[in-house]
């Protein structure tokens, strides 16, 4: 009895906190943490296929990391390119998404339809749908010669740009024009495609700003420009971090470097190198992300 009384309020609260997290944490540890550890284990060992137990992993120290960083001809280059792409994409995506969210948050005719339209790339990017579209296209254009293996490979990236290009080629535009336009629009299409979810997050964020703040701003005679910088932007700031993290995760998942480690694992069958590559690139991106988020967080205004 006495022991129970000794439990402080903070301790009791901590226990409630853990109780709330428990359902999530158990699954997370069993599934995600374990696969993370297994990947770390693979990256540190020499993995080979074993007919009896499936695989055998002999500890090999940092050999794999040494190989990918010093000997592999492509890894460093691809890593740098991927990072550069992410760095270019992220501010563009965030600016575009915030702008679009603000426009879509206003009252005008056909708002719901417009919102849906801007979400289309997200839905189209999902595996089943892009596969189905690619299949339909292949059936119509490629005919019998197309194989299903080629289809799945071409739809591996979430940005279904090939589909657009092929579409215009089918309509009958000369290829030199297409190449030029694609080169110029390449980034824009990517940005717009990546921004779907962020637009939805920003709309949700804009919706949760108390309307009284806008009323006050209006009464005080603020222009819409001032209202944006003094009310909307500070209130949305925490969600800019959310979107930043989401964008980086999204861009990283579809980046070349992940594709390269994937190929390493499943095409070259070297699971050890592939794991080491995945880990290295992940750590690098995370480090950059944590630094940037910490910097933004310092300048973020929190409502309470």
Partner 1 sequence: MAKEKTRVKKRWFHREKQLNRSAAGNGLLFFFMAFCGVFMALPLVILINNALKPLDEIFQYPQTIFVKNPTFENFKDLFVVMSDSWVPFSRYIFNTLIITGFGTVGHVVVASLAAYPLAKHKFPGKNILFSIVVLSMMFSYNVTQIPNYMIISYLGINNTYLALILPSWQFGMGLYLMKQFMEQIPDSLMESAKLDGASEFTIFWKIFMPNVKPAWLTLAVLQFQQMWGNTGSMFLRSEKLKPMQFALQQIAGGGAARAGVACAVAFVIALVPITFFLICQSQIIETMTSSGMKE
CB of 154 vs partner 1, minimal distance in Å: 14
Q: Which stretch binds partner 1 (CB under 8 A): 22-30, 58-66, 82-90, 174-182?
A: 22-30
CB of 2 vs partner 1, minimal distance in Å: 24
Considering the rule CB under 8 A, would residue 25 count as an interface residue with partner 1? Answer: yes
Residue with tokens 């070349």: 256
| CB nearer partner 1, residue 295 or residue 303 | 303
Phi, psi of 239, deg, nearest 5: -80, -20
Contacts to partner 1 from residues 105-164, by CB under 8 A: 108, 112, 114-124, 126-129, 131-133, 135-136, 139-141, 143-144, 146, 148, 160, 163-164
| CB nearer partner 1, residue 2 or residue 20 | 20
| CB nearer partner 1, residue 154 or residue 242 | 242
| CB nearer partner 1, residue 60 or residue 242 | 242
What number of chain residues touch partner 1 (CB under 8 A)?
Answer: 104
Out of 286, 294, 295, 301, the only residue in the binding site for partner 1 (CB under 8 A) is 286
- Compute the radius of gyration of the chain from its Cα atoms: 25
Q: Which residues contact 138 (CB under 8 A, 6 or more apart)?
A: 146, 150, 151
Considering the rule CB under 8 A, would residue 212 count as an interface residue with partner 1? Answer: yes
Contacts to partner 1 from residues 64-93, by CB under 8 A: none
Q: Which stretch binds partner 1 (CB under 8 A): 71-79, 80-88, 176-184, 198-206?
A: 198-206
Sketch the per residue contact string, 238 through 267, with partner 1: x for CB under 8 A, - otherwise: xx-xx--xx--x--xx----x--xx--x--
| CB nearer partner 1, residue 27 or residue 61 | 27
SS (H, E, C) the chain: CHHHHHCCHHHHHHHHHHHHHHHHHHHHHHHHHHHHHHHHHHHCEEEEEECCCEEEEEECCCHHHHHHHHHCCCHHHHHHHHHHHHHHHHHHHHHHHHHHHHHHHCCCCCHHHHHHHHHHHHHHHCHHHHHHHHHHHHHHHHHHHCCHHHHHHHCCCCCCHHHHHHHHHHHCCCHHHHHHHHHHHHHHHHHHHHCHHHHHHHHHHHHCCCHHHHHHHHHCCCCHHHHHHHHHHHHHHHHHHHHHHHHHHHHHHCCHHHHHHHHHHHCCCCHHHHHHHHHHHHHHHHHHHHHHHHHHHHCCCCCC
Considering the rule CB under 8 A, would residue 219 count as an interface residue with partner 1? Answer: no
Out of 7, 18, 74, 186, the only residue in the binding site for partner 1 (CB under 8 A) is 18
CB of 62 vs partner 1, minimal distance in Å: 19
| CB nearer partner 1, residue 132 or residue 177 | 132
Gap between the Cα atoms of 192 and 159, Å rounded: 10
| CB nearer partner 1, residue 32 or residue 295 | 32
| CB nearer partner 1, residue 60 or residue 245 | 245
């Amino acid at each position: 009895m006495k022991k129970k009384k000794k439990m402080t309020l903070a301790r009791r609260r901590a226990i409630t906190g853990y109780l709330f997290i428990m359902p999530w944490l158990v699954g997370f540890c069993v599934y995600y943490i374990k696969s993370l550890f297994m990947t770390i284990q693979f990256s540190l060992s020499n993995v080979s296929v074993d007919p009896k137990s499936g695989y055998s992993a002999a500890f090999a120290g940092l050999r794999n990391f040494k190989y990918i960083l010093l000997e592999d001809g492509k890894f460093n280059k691809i890593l740098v390119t991927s990072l550069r792409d992410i760095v270019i994409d992220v501010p563009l995506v965030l600016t575009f998404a915030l702008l679009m969210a603000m426009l879509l948050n206003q009252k005008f005719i056909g708002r719901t339809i417009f919102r849906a339209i801007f979400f289309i790339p997200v839905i189209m990017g999902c595996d089943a749908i892009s596969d189905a579209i690619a299949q339909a296209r292949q059936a119509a254009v490629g005919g019998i010669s197309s194989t299903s293996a080629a289809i799945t490979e071409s739809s591996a990236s979430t940005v279904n740009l090939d589909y657009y290009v092929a579409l215009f080629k089918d309509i009958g535009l000369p290829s030199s024009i297409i190449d030029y336009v694609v080169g110029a629009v390449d980034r824009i299409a990517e940005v717009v495609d990546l921004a779907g979810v962020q637009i939805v997050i920003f709309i949700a964020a804009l919706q949760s700003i108390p309307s009284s703040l806008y009323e006050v701003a209006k009464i005080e005679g603020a222009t819409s420009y001032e209202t944006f910088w003094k009310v909307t932007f500070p209130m949305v700031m925490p969600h800019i971090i959310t979107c930043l993290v989401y964008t980086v995760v999204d861009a990283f998942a579809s980046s070349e470097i992940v594709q390269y480690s994937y190929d390493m694992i499943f095409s070259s069958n070297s699971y050890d190198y592939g794991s080491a590559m995945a880990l290295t690139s992940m750590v690098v991106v995370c480090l950059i992300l944590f630094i940037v988020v910490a910097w933004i967080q310092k300048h973020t205004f929190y409502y309470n």
